Amino acid sequence: MSRAHAQERPPAPEPLPIPVLDSHTHLDIVVGRRGDVDDGSQEDAVTVDADRVRAEIDAAVAVGVTRLVQVGVDLPSSHWGADLAAASPHVLATVALHPNEAPRTADLDEALREIEALAALPRVRGLGETGLDYFRTGEGGVEAQTASFRAHIAFAKRYGKALVIHDREAHSDVLKVLKEEGAPDTVVLHCFSGDAEFARECAERGFYLSFAGNVTFKSAAHLREAALVAPRDQILVETDAPFLTPMPYRGRPNASYLIPHVVRFLAELRGDSLEDMCTALAANGERVFGQW
């Protein structure tokens, strides 16, 4: 694939028969947030083109993705998402310090206080993405990650909001911390990365499993096995845009308007009708995040 082709937006898919949600997107990055999400520069505000944001939302709505959850990963993106959700009827927000952000935050306690203040806002419906990441952060960052994760769990319970978990190569420790702290009523495993056994464990605890475009990848047999055992009333779909573009457009930019590819793939995989899958996803989304 040429570099120019890799940057081309995939065409819009056929609209879904029943509207669904994108349970996890990063619109600020999709439309060109200044700076790298992992650069640790908490003092810099997120600056994006408002017209491009509206265009992305409109493109999603046009194919039946009428509800988007904008996810925070640091203080600037959490503030930006909360403001966007307050202004757009199609968007709700979650706020958090990403687990890779926590170890490099100069004053973690102060940053967490700021996240807690945002968590109280009515259009902020989740704490996340928080959790543990043992892939990008070494042993030196585990203590800060864990402390941040515990704080987000407490905020989710205090304000009655969903907990949206980033779990990368940390399955057992994520469950351990949730058991020690007491899990909130609503827990979402964002971009579910486990196998069928882990899916059963999470489902038994009442957690929601959110599947992204990587479930369509040829190399992701374990994710498909997990999707097959996940109860339909505990499944969500997401883009994690601009990452994890589903097949057949892997490697090209992802955005919420491509969710129908994942929905159709899961419906066919599980032997569900498309209408039944859409109905379940819409209902699950409202149980997790409330009404838009």
CATH number for position 246:
3.20.20.140
The answer to whether the annotation marks 166 as part of a ligand binding site is yes
Give the whole-angstrom CA distance, residue 229 versus residue 199: 7
pLDDT for position 38: 43
The answer to whether the annotation marks 201 as part of a ligand binding site is no
Residue 181 three-state SS: helix
- Give yes or no for a contact between 48 and 236, defined as CB atoms under 8 angstroms apart: no
Assess if residue 5 is contained within a domain.
no
Assess if residue 1 is contained within a domain.
no
- The helix (H) or strand (E) run that includes residue 130 is strand 124-133
Assess if residue 67 is contained within a domain.
yes
pTM of the predicted model, to two decimals? 0.93
pLDDT for position 136: 77
Assess if residue 16 is contained within a domain.
no
What is the 3-class SS of 182-250, one letter each residue? CCCCCEEECCCCCCHHHHHHHHHCCCEEEECHHHHCCCCHHHHHHHHHCCHHHEEECCCECCCCCCCCC
Assess if residue 173 is contained within a domain.
yes
CA distances from 80 to 50, 183, 194 (A): 11, 27, 31
Assess if residue 2 is contained within a domain.
no
The answer to whether the annotation marks 26 as part of a ligand binding site is yes
Assess if residue 246 is contained within a domain.
yes
Residue 18 three-state SS: coil
Percent of residues in the chain assigned helix, strand, coil, to nearest 5: 45, 15, 35
Strand partners, 125: none
Successive 10-residue mean pLDDT values, the chain, 292 residues = 69 98 97 54 70 97 98 97 98 97 96 98 98 84 96 98 96 97 98 97 98 98 98 98 97 97 98 98 98 94
CA angle 98, 126, 45 (to 5 degrees): 50
Give the whole-angstrom CA distance, residue 108 versus residue 172: 24
CA distances from 101 to 41, 51, 232 (A): 10, 29, 33
- Its sign, for the CA torsion 30, 34, 35, 38, is negative
pLDDT for position 36: 40
Assess if residue 241 is contained within a domain.
yes
For the chain, how many structural domains are there in total? 1
**Which range of residues forms the domain containing residue 254?**
21-35+45-289
pLDDT for position 39: 39
The answer to whether the annotation marks 240 as part of a ligand binding site is yes
Q: Two tokens at 231?
A: 């109860």
pLDDT for position 3: 56
